[in-house]
């Protein structure tokens, strides 16, 4: 008797939904707490705390509904074998268009087009509600309905332009790969990720946001001096118009080798009281670069990608696996989808491990900024970002340990203060 792969996958998905819902309930209870954590009393204003609490509770209620609908849809699609039915219908659609349904690349693209339409339709109500009700209610949403749909159309157009060549290449590699398939797939994805990292900020990101050079002045001079003191090869310093869509704030850096760029959200500049707070946030980001966190993360992703492709090569010819999910043929894309579902338990463990490492990196980057003399402005900047973004003030330890890639504010401030005490 064949192993019941489908039933095992759906069963685990439901178990994980129950476990994560339990964590969500714990976090929801933390959101309801009427008082600030002791370390934040006198640091965060009561007014901001109440606003943060209301925002967090709104998002929490919405999350419960969204996750419930998602698990019902996802498990039903698998259990009632909607995927093989949809695969057959996408082949029939090709015949209707007068195209060759036996061509796996055409068949796969037809299938993906249908999946994209379905996902857009099912996700749209939730996305609209999140953006124009929850985010708007709490003063974050700044985009119009026209801008929202324009972004969506641009995203679909990019998928149509970029997607087919990538899908076709993966199918050809799997069909011709032979014993070195995992290496070829990994090599292709490595090159693709490097190309995308190169062209995204230059060609794709400007389609959605306006990037302008940070004007000459004291802030620019301080950032350039900091970068120079660390030998960070800063080539360009941009401000992005994040305020056209949201009042959430951020800063990031990107680029290869000697061609690094830093991007500040205009909302970050507006929200921070002084230049020192912004420079402290940049010092934290440069800490990630100086301590090689970006490189370590990239290498970890490459190793995990290679292992995933290695696992896929072991099961891609398993007739029992495909038949368990209702397929009588073994298309490349379907094999990848099924494999992703079968390794969900491992993915959860890996995600948990990566979050642990990410939180350690955040503490290290904070400590790096502190060593540069930015302890006080970094502390003030972190508090300001927490306040302005109405981030959760009270966090459940189980929930944050499982979900958070960044430590809660209380822990970050405690770490900065602790290192202060050690130096006294």
pLDDT at 424 over 60: no
Q: Which fold has domain 211-271?
A: Zincin-like (3.30.2010)
What pTM, to 2 d.p., does this model score? Answer: 0.88
7 is catalytic: no
pLDDT at 419 over 80: no
Angle between helices 145-176 and 332-342 (to 10 degrees): 100
413: nearest Cα among 27, 42, 30, 28: 42
Q: What residues does each domain of the chain span? A: 211-271
Range of weakest confidence among 11-15, 159-163, 180-184, 384-388: 384-388
241 is catalytic: no
Residue 362 is assigned to a ligand binding site: yes
The arithmetic mean of pLDDT across residues 128-149, rounded, is 93
Q: Which of 285, 387, 396, 411 is catalytic?
A: 285
pLDDT at 420 over 60: no
What percent of the chain lies above the pLDDT cut of 90? 68
Q: Which of 277, 366, 388, 396 is catalytic?
A: 366
pLDDT at 349 over 60: yes
SS3 category, 234 = strand
Residues in Cβ contact with 190 at an 8 Å cutoff, skipping those fewer than 6 apart: 302, 305
Q: Tell me: the pLDDT tens digits for 181-196? A: 999 999 999 999 989 8
Looking at residue 179, its pLDDT comes to: 87
| Residue-averaged pLDDT of the chain | 91
What percent of the chain lies above the pLDDT cut of 70? 98
The arithmetic mean of pLDDT across residues 89-111, rounded, is 92
Q: Give the DSSP letter string of 329-385.
A: S--HHHHHHHHHHHTHHHHHHHHHHHHHHHHHHHHHHHHHHIIIIIHHHHHHHHHHH
Residue 248 is assigned to a ligand binding site: no
Looking at residue 309, its pLDDT comes to: 94
Residue 288 is assigned to a ligand binding site: yes
Length of the chain: 424
| 234-240 and 260-265 beta bridge pairing | parallel
Looking at residue 257, its pLDDT comes to: 67
**Confidence label for 421 from pLDDT (cuts 50, 70 and 90):** low
Phi (first) and psi of residue 200, to 5 degrees: -60, -55
Buried b (16+ CB within 10 A) or exposed e, 91-111: bebbeeeeeebeebbbbbbbb
The arithmetic mean of pLDDT across residues 271-298, rounded, is 90
């Amino acid at each position: 008797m064949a192993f019941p792969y489908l039933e095992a996958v759906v069963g685990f998905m439901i178990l994980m939904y129950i476990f994560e819902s339990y964590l969500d309930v714990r976090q929801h209870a933390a959101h309801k707490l009427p008082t600030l954590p002791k370390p934040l009393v006198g640091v965060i204003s009561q007014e901001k705390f109440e606003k943060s609490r209301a925002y967090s509770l709104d998002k929490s209620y919405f999350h419960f509904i969204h996750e419930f609908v998602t698990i019902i849809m996802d498990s039903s699609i698998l259990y009632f074998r909607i995927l093989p039915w949809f695969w057959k219908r996408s082949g029939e659609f090709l015949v209707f268009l007068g195209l060759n349904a036996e061509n796996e690349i055409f068949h796969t693209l037809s299938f993906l087009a249908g999946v994209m339409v379905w996902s857009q339709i099912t996700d749209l109500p939730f996305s609209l509600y999140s953006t124009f009700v929850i985010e708007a209610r709490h003063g974050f949403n700044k985009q119009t309905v026209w801008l929202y749909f324009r972004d969506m159309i641009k995203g679909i157009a990019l998928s149509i332009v970029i997607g087919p060549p990538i899908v076709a290449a993966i199918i050809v590699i799997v069909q011709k790969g032979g014993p070195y398939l995992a290496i070829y797939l990994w090599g292709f994805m490595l090159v693709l990720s490097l190309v995308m990292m190169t062209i995204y900020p230059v060609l794709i990101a400007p389609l959605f946001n306006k990037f302008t050079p940070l004007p000459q002045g004291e802030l620019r001079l301080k950032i350039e001096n900091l970068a120079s003191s660390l030998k960070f090869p800063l080539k360009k310093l941009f401000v992005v118009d994040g305020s056209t869509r949201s009042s959430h704030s951020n800063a990031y850096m990107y680029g290869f080798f000697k061609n690094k760029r830093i991007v500040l959200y205009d909302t970050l500049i507006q929200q921070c009281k002084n230049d020192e707070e912004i420079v402290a946030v940049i010092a934290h980001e440069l800490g990630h670069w100086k301590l090689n966190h970006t490189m370590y993360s990239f290498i970890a992703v490459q190793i995990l990608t290679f292992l995933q492709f290695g696992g896929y090569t072991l099961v891609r010819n398993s007739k029992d696996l495909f038949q368990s999910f209702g397929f009588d043929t073994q298309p490349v894309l379907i094999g990848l989808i099924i494999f992703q579902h079968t390794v969900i338990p491992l993915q959860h463990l890996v995600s948990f491990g990566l979050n642990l490492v990410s939180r350690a990196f955040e503490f290290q980057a904070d400590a790096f900024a502190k060593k540069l003399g930015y302890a006080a402005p970094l502390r003030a900047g972190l508090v300001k970002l927490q306040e302005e973004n109405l981030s959760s003030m009270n966090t459940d330890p189980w929930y944050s340990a499982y979900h958070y890639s960044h430590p809660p504010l209380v822990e970050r401030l405690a770490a900065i203060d602790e290192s202060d005490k050690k130096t006294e």
